[in-house]
Amino acid sequence: MPTTFNWTAGLVFIGFFALVTVLGFVAARWKAGDMTQLHEWGLGGRQFGTVISWFLVGGDFYTAYTVIAVPALVYAVGAYGFFALPYTIIVYPFVFAVMPKLWTACNKGNHITAADFVQGLYGGRWFAAAIALTGIVATMPYIALQLVGMQVVIKSLGVTGEAPLVIAFLILAVYTYASGLRAPAMIAFVKDIMIYIVVIAAIWLIPSKLGGYASVFDAADHFFTAKGGATGIILKPSQFTAYASLAFGSAMAAFMYPHTLTGVLSSASAKTVKKNAIFLPAYTLLLGLIALLGYMAIAAGVKVTNNNDVVPALFLHLFPSWFVGFAAAAIAISALVPAAIMSIGSANLFTRNLWKPLVQPNITPSQEASNAKIVSLAVKLGALVFIIVLPTKFAIDLQLLGGVWILQTFPAVVFSLYTRWLKLPALFIGWAAGIGLGTTLAFMQDLKPIYVLHLGDASYPMYIGLIALALNIVLTLVLSVVLPARPALAAR
């Protein structure tokens, strides 16, 4: 990594960042609405059509951290790091089948969060609060990781210190405050187009510089053969269940997060959500190619001390300065979009499902909106402090745990769309047991996502979130059978 400021790259970077900042503030006037209403600020007025939603959800789901971390994992271990690919394919049949139903239910009830939906269905305050808290806690480290993505690319421009990160995040905080979801929706256009350009340039240029894809894969193969262990350009049979369960569990968890749900709920109609499920896989193609950057780095002989530096290091190695700046800006802006939506999603949850029911039941709609704006600031500030004060490892570990936790909201959110038969205490106990088991197993594995299940002589490494979800579902079903009907239900 360079230690002096790269002027050409730096100026290109600053130029694009300035453009996006202006867009962020202009966005408040775009498809103007009454910003004193939470659904206007926090869902953009539920009016985004197929094209805007495509950019928004794509920009929100495929984050800066993805662009940094997936190639880093592929660089380190090979094929196993590719689980992100099946994950982001099989997520779409699920989105297609389930999310339009959720959109319809939430639109009818004016729900803006998953916890709102659960509360509307089952009543009570505490379970909805638990769902909300799960969402917020799972999202915080995710925001922090977006900062890591930004930090990595800023460092590659030869800038040291935390100042640029702080400035970038203050800008983000202020325009999210002013424009709400409209800001990331508008910025997502720029961000996605820039990322597409970078990746297309990379897949076009890099193989010709490295002698074609066959030699890229050959280089990776030799590298992993020399490295040994559970690495390689295809999986070891012992990795099969880990790979498949990570892909499946991650896919089921992906649209339980507040930021992805916010993206879905801001769509104009259930049909928009369906259409988007058809077209969103285009981003997965992009992700697959981004993942290959890990192998290209190996083929280019890039050496890094921290795997997360592998993408910027590869860009520095192969691209001219001005394009390094462009690529760095693309990644940094990629951090802004999800970070903004994540903070908005968390703020919606906090305001609607924690503050309103537990602290200030008679809050007015405009107080609700201003409360959410302030919470979104606090959430981002929290993430910033987190990343500056604590080692990055904490954010990574917590984000992993967050995935396990958010998956435990699946039965309450998804099953409830199909049946009214589940009982609130059953869902609550299932959720708690899932969180308990998932957290325990994760700590037993030193915060690795995989736990080895033994069945007879065979052993199956499985994603912990999925093991916990299995317990959660079994408990929810069994308890829904054995628990007595609630008086309120019996009276109906």
Partner 1 sequence: MTQKDPTMRPDDTPPTRGSALKFLLLIPYLALLWLPFYNDVHPSLMGFPFFYWYQLLWVPLTSLILFVVYRWVR
451, β-bridge pairs: 462
Distance of CA 165 to the CA centre of its chain: 20
d(CA 4, CA 159): 7
Assess 425 for contact with partner 1 (CB under 8 A). no
Which window, 138-146, 156-164, 172-180, 276-284, contacts partner 1 (CB under 8 A)?
Answer: 276-284
71 contacts 310 by C-beta, under 8 angstroms: yes
**Cβ 301 to partner 1 shortest distance, Å:** 19
Which window, 11-19, 143-151, 258-266, 412-420, contacts partner 1 (CB under 8 A)?
Answer: 412-420
271-277, long-range: CB < 8 A, 24+ apart = 271/100, 272/48, 272/49, 272/50, 272/53, 273/53, 273/95, 273/99, 273/100, 273/103, 274/96, 274/100, 275/50, 276/50, 276/53, 276/54, 276/57, 276/95, 277/92, 277/93, 277/95, 277/96, 277/99
**Cβ 117 to partner 1 shortest distance, Å:** 8
Q: How many residues contact partner 1, by CB under 8 A?
A: 54
Which of helix, strand or coil describes residue 455?
strand
**Cβ 235 to partner 1 shortest distance, Å:** 5
Assess 473 for contact with partner 1 (CB under 8 A). no
458, β-bridge pairs: 455
Single residue of 15, 123, 301, 320 touching partner 1 by CB under 8 A: 123
Single residue of 2, 49, 158, 281 touching partner 1 by CB under 8 A: 281
**Cβ 109 to partner 1 shortest distance, Å:** 5
Which residue's CB is nearer to partner 1, number 247 or number 341?
247
User: How is 206-235 classified by DSSP, letter by letter?
Assistant: HHHHHTHHHHHHHHHHHHHHHH-SS-BSS-
Q: Which of residues 55-84 bind partner 1 (CB under 8 A)?
A: 79, 82
User: How is 60-105 classified by DSSP, letter by letter?
Assistant: HHS-HHHHHHHHHHHHHHBGGGGGHHHHHHHHHHHHHHHHHHHHHH
294 contacts 73 by C-beta, under 8 angstroms: yes
**Cβ 419 to partner 1 shortest distance, Å:** 7
Q: At 162, phi and psi to the nearest 5?
A: -95, -10
Assess 317 for contact with partner 1 (CB under 8 A). no
Which residue's CB is nearer to partner 1, number 55 or number 386?
55
Assess 419 for contact with partner 1 (CB under 8 A). yes
Which residue's CB is nearer to partner 1, number 182 or number 275?
275
282 contacts 64 by C-beta, under 8 angstroms: no
Residue type, 189: F
**Cβ 106 to partner 1 shortest distance, Å:** 10
Q: Per-residue contact track with partner 1, 1 to 40, x per CB under 8 A?
A: ----------------------------------------
22-to-25, 171, 190, 376 alpha-carbon distances in Å: 5, 10, 12, 20
Dihedral sign from CA coordinates of 391, 396, 399, 400: negative
Which window, 7-15, 101-109, 145-153, 297-305, contacts partner 1 (CB under 8 A)?
Answer: 101-109
Which residue's CB is nearer to partner 1, number 48 or number 82?
82
Assess 410 for contact with partner 1 (CB under 8 A). no
Single residue of 30, 47, 49, 120 touching partner 1 by CB under 8 A: 120
* Token couple for 394: 């904490």
Assess 105 for contact with partner 1 (CB under 8 A). yes
Single residue of 6, 50, 113, 119 touching partner 1 by CB under 8 A: 119
Which residue's CB is nearer to partner 1, number 246 or number 336?
246
Which residue's CB is nearer to partner 1, number 123 or number 320?
123
Q: Which of residues 160-219 bind partner 1 (CB under 8 A)?
A: 207, 212-217
Which residue's CB is nearer to partner 1, number 173 or number 268?
268
Neighbours of 163 (CB within 10 A): 10
Assess 477 for contact with partner 1 (CB under 8 A). no
Which window, 138-146, 231-239, 362-370, 377-385, contacts partner 1 (CB under 8 A)?
Answer: 231-239
User: How is 5-31 classified by DSSP, letter by letter?
Assistant: --HHHHHHHHHHHHHHHHHHHHGGGTT
**Cβ 61 to partner 1 shortest distance, Å:** 14
- Residue 41: which of 189, 187, 188, 184 has the closest Cα? 184
Q: Which residues bind partner 1 (CB under 8 A)?
A: 79, 82, 85-86, 89-90, 92-93, 96-97, 101, 105, 108-109, 119-125, 207, 212-217, 233-235, 237, 240, 243-244, 247-248, 274-275, 277-279, 281-282, 284-285, 288, 292, 357, 417-420, 488
